[in-house]
Amino acid sequence: MTCFPLPRLPEKRRAHGKRVAVGLLFCAASLLSACSGIKTYENSLDKNLHVHTATDSGSWFSRVRAAVDIHRVGVDCAIDYEGTVQLTGSATEIGIQPGRRSYLVFVFNSFSFFSNRSGTITYETLIKPRSNHHYDVVVSYKNDLYHVMIREIPPDRSASRELAPLALNSCRSSSDRK
Amino acid sequence: MKRYHVLIVVLNLFALVGCISHPQTAEEFRKAVPGAFSATVETFEVDRPFGQVASTFQKMGPNCLSKTIKTTSQTTTSYQVIVTTYKPTVLVKGKKAELHVQQHHEQGVINVSKEPEGGYYLLVADAQPVTQTKTRIDLYRPSMGHGVLIQAVRNWATGENVGCPDLTK
C-alpha cells in the first residue's frame, strides 16, 4: 500500500484560516451569550460586597451553580439589570454603588443528569450600601437547603448587623411615604 | 356497542372527578389528612420555647416560600415545563402558631377539582407550647414527595440547620 502525503496549505493561508475560525467561534459565543440574556457585571467599583459561597448538590449525578444578578434601582423603583457575577469560587469580591439602592438576586440553578431535570430558585433583596461600610455575604446550598445572609460591617468594624431581606415592593412603599 | 362503552367510561370519569374534592380551608385540610392516602400527620416536640418557633415561622415562611418556581424536565420523547406558585401564611394567635403552605400550578398541570384561593393546601404546621422550653408540633403533610419542604419546616421548628428549601426538588 502506498501512502501519499496530504496536500498542505501554504503557511499564510493556514494562519488566515485559523484567524477566521477563531473569529467565527467568538461570534458564535457572543451571539449565544447575547441570546441567553445574561451579561457579566462590570464589577469596576471599590469592592464592598465580600461573598463567601459554599455549594454542594449532594450527589454525583447533579450539580448546583450559584450566581448573583445585580440590578440598579431607580428613584421610581424601576429596576435595570446591570449584570451577573458567577459565584464559582469560595470567595468573590463585588463592588456595588454605595448610597444608591440595588436589587440583588441570588440564583441557585440545579441540574440533575439522571432525570435531565433543571430548576432555578432565587433569593432576592434590596440593599442600599452605606459608604465605607462593608458587607459580608454568606451564600450556601447544601442538602437541598439554601441560605443567604448579609451582614453590614461599619468602617471601624466595631459591630455588625444582619440585614433582613427586603422585597422590591418595600422600595415602592418607602417612596410613597416620601 | 363501542360508542356505548366510550360513553360509560366518560360518564365514570366525570363521576370520579366529581368525587375528588380538595380541602378548601386549613381546617378542612387538618380533618382530611388522617384519612387521606397520600398524606399523614406527624407530631413531635422540640426543645425550644414557643415564641422562638413562632418567630422562625414568621421569618422563614414568607422569605422562603413566597416563590414562583419553574422546573423543566426533558426526555427523548417529551419536554415538560411546570410553573408553580407557593403561598405561605403564618398566623400567630395567643398560644398557637400556624404555618399554611398552598401551591398553585400556573402552567403544566391540569386541575380536576375546585382549587381554594391561593392554591391547594400542601402542608399545615401547628405549634403549641408544652412547657416554657418545649413546643409541640403537629405537621399535616404529604406522605410522598415534597421531602425538602417538610425537612425545612422541621428544621425551622427545631432551630437546627435553618435554611430555605429548594422547591424545585
ipTM: 0.77
The residue among A119 and A54 whose pLDDT is bigger is: A54
Give the model's pLDDT for residue A68. 97
Q: What is the pLDDT of residues B117-149, one digit of tens each?
A: 999 999 999 999 999 999 999 999 999 889 999
Considering the domain A49-177 in this protein, what is its CATH number?
2.60.40
- Contact in structure between B98 and B90 (CB atoms under 8 Å): yes
* Contact at CB, A117 and B151, closer than 8 angstroms: no
* Those residues with Cβ within 8 angstroms of residue A151's Cβ, 6 or more apart along the chain or in another chain: A135, A136, A137, A160, A161, A162, A163
Q: How many CA atoms lie within 13 A of A103 on its CB side?
A: 19
A108 Cβ under 8 Å from any chain B Cβ: yes
From residue B129, give the alpha-carbon distance in Å to each of B14, B97, B150: 46, 9, 21
Report how far residue A167's alpha carbon sits from residue B61's, in angstroms, rounded to the nearest whole number: 14
Which of A145, A164, A165 has the CB atom closest to B166's CB atom? A145
Report helix angle B147-158 to B50-65, nearest 10: 150
B72 Cβ under 8 Å from any chain A Cβ: yes
Give the model's pLDDT for residue B72. 83
Share of chain B above pLDDT 70, in %: 88
* Contact at CB, B165 and A147, closer than 8 angstroms: no
Q: pLDDT tier at B11 (50, 70, 90 boundaries)? A: very low
B75 Cβ under 8 Å from any chain A Cβ: yes
Which of A115, A146, A165 has the CB atom closest to B166's CB atom? A146
Alpha helices, H only, chain A: 11-36, 168-177
The domain spans of chain A are 10-37, 49-177
Chain A nearest CA to B73, separation (Å): 4
A117 Cβ under 8 Å from any chain B Cβ: yes
- For the domain made up of B22-158, give the CATH fold: Alpha-D-Glucose-1,6-Bisphosphate; Chain A, domain 4 (3.30.530)
Given a cut of 50, is residue B16 above it in pLDDT?
Answer: no
- For B157, the grid coordinates are 421548628
Q: What is the pLDDT of residues A122-168, one digit of tens each?
A: 999 999 999 999 999 999 999 899 999 999 999 988 888 999 999 88
B61 Cβ under 8 Å from any chain A Cβ: no
Q: Taking CA atoms, what residue in B is nearest to A144?
A: B166
Which of B69, B73, B165 has the CB atom closest to A117's CB atom? B73
* Contact at CB, A146 and B162, closer than 8 angstroms: no
A100 Cβ under 8 Å from any chain B Cβ: no
Given a cut of 70, is residue A74 above it in pLDDT?
Answer: yes
Share of chain A above pLDDT 90, in %: 54
A172 dihedral zone (left: phi>0; alpha: psi -120 to 50; beta): alpha
A-B interface: how many C-beta pairs under 8 angstroms? 61
Chain A nearest CA to B3, separation (Å): 40
